[in-house]
Amino acid sequence: MKIYFAGAIRGGRGNAGIYAQMIDFLAQFGDVLTCHVADKNVRASERQFSEQEIHDRDLKWLLEADVMIAEVSTPSLGVGYEIGRAIDSGKPVLCLYNIHADFELSALIQGCRELNVIHYEHLSDTYPEIKKFMTELKQ
């Protein structure tokens, strides 16, 4: 299974450590196409690419993926865009939101019937829910 993991990059890097843990967990279910999201230096490493190259590369990965998992505790225009594109392409999407986040979850995410949203207090709280979500996809 190909997994597209999304998390804020330009919107804020405060959750990069959580992204790394999440990507490590997701790797047991398949190939995570976007491991770079957890890289604490991702913004510096992406300077070698134009905006269009980043867009085209990420969209290619998204369209290749079987599923999208998005950590949405930090608001991000890019993650929102990716979620919309994933929905439009018929991909299953799971959003993870930390209840202690500094920002309230957007009603456009919370209220979207095509999205599965998990509210969590501790990252480990998401693991059984993710496992269930991923297992149901394989059936």
The first and second tokens of residue 80, run together, are 């929102």
Handedness of CA 103, 106, 58, 33 (dihedral sign): positive
For the entire predicted model, the pTM comes to: 0.94
Q: What is the pLDDT of residue 39?
A: 80
Summary mean pLDDT of the chain: 93
pLDDT digits (tens, 9 = 90+) for 94-112: 999 999 999 999 999 999 9
Overall average pLDDT of the 3-9 stretch = 95
pLDDT digits (tens, 9 = 90+) for 28-73: 999 999 988 988 777 677 778 999 999 999 999 999 999 999 999 9
Gap between the Cα atoms of 11 and 4, Å rounded: 18
Domain spans, the chain: 2-138
CATH topology of domain 2-138: Rossmann fold (3.40.50)
